């Protein structure tokens, strides 16, 4: 058989406990089977998890639809997020909007603070946690590195200490685009819905899901580790 990861020819390597033939890839150094009974080992499963995740399905929903365990779904989500590389932005003299989105995280107050390009709607940076000056500075600094023409925010006073006055604008209706983006987030990600019993118990899981939603479209899911 051919390797499920690299496509090279595998050699026979004994048998599994269930009596099925086991194969070994000398390139990837992985043991695998030709046919798996458990759905999670199929090649398309990571792509399916991604598609369901960004279309308002929670971990339990994905588990029911794909017939795999909740633990496996959670593990795959974290692995997919780890494979994502933050895009390198080379744009300059653009306009940006920044905002904070409140979410429930294990009963604690938590926000997703992020910035988008006003024209392309591309997310530049984000941070999950409190609305502290330290967290907001992480996002703001990434925007300032791009030599922005204008940065639009709400009237949160912390921004006045982080963004130069000449490029900062906090007037009313100037953050309409990112506010609309907030609605997309709440619609497309189940754990961000307002009236729901779903919420994030793990900050790491919340960060992974947000990262997948923002930048996961470019990842090659065939190369995400399929071990649960």
| pLDDT tens-digit map of 163-180 | 999 999 999 899 999 999
Question: What distance lies between CA 216 and its chain's CA centroid?
Answer: 6
| Token representation of residue 106 | 């294990």
Rounded to whole angstroms, what are the CA distances from 51 to 46, 55, 212? 9, 6, 10
Task: State how far the Cα of 200 lies from the Cα of 205, in Å rounded to an integer.
Answer: 7
Radius of gyration of the chain (CA): 21
Between vectors from CA 131 to CA 116 and to CA 98, what angle results, nearest 5°?
15
User: With contact defined as beta carbons under 8 Å apart, do 20 and 29 qualify?
Assistant: no
What is the value of pTM for the model shown?
0.81
196: Cβ contacts below 8 Å, ≥ 6 apart? 190
| pLDDT tens-digit map of 213-226 | 999 987 776 656 55
Q: Please give the share of the chain, as a percent, with pLDDT higher than 90.
A: 58
Region of poorest pLDDT, from 127-141, 174-188, 211-225: 211-225
Q: What are the beta bridge partners of residue 15?
A: 21
CATH code: domain 95-200 is 3.30.420.10
Mean pLDDT, range 209-216, rounded to an integer: 94
Task: State how far the Cα of 207 lies from the Cα of 195, in Å rounded to an integer.
Answer: 21
pLDDT at 223 (0 to 100): 54
pLDDT classification of 2: cutoffs 50, 70, 90: confident
Furthest-apart CA atoms within the chain: distance in Å: 71
Task: State how far the Cα of 111 lies from the Cα of 130, in Å rounded to an integer.
Answer: 6
CA-nearest of 207, 154, 194, 208 to 178 is 154
């Amino acid at each position: 058989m051919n390797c499920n990861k690299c496509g090279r020819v595998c050699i026979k390597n004994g048998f599994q406990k269930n009596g099925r033939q086991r194969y070994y890839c000398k390139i990837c150094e992985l043991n695998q089977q030709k046919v798996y009974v458990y759905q999670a080992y199929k090649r398309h499963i990571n792509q399916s998890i991604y598609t369901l995740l960004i279309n308002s399905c929670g971990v339990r929903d994905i588990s029911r639809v794909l017939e795999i365990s909740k633990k496996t779904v959670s593990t795959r989500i974290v692995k997919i997020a780890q494979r994502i590389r933050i895009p390198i932005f080379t744009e300059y003299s653009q306009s940006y909007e920044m905002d904070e989105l409140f979410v429930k995280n294990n009963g604690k107050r938590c926000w997703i603070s992020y910035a988008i390009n006003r024209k392309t709607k591309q997310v530049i940076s984000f941070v999950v946690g409190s609305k502290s000056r330290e967290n907001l500075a992480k996002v703001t600094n990434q925007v300032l590195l791009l030599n922005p023409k204008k940065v639009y925010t709400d009237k949160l006073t912390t921004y006045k200490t982080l963004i130069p006055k000449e490029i900062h604008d906090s007037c009313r209706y100037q953050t309409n685009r990112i506010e609309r983006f907030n609605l997309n987030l709440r619609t497309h990600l189940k754990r961000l819905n307002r009236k729901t019993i779903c919420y994030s118990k793990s900050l790491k899981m919340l960060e992974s899901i947000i990262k997948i939603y923002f930048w996961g479209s470019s990842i090659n899911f065939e190369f995400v580790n399929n071990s649960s």
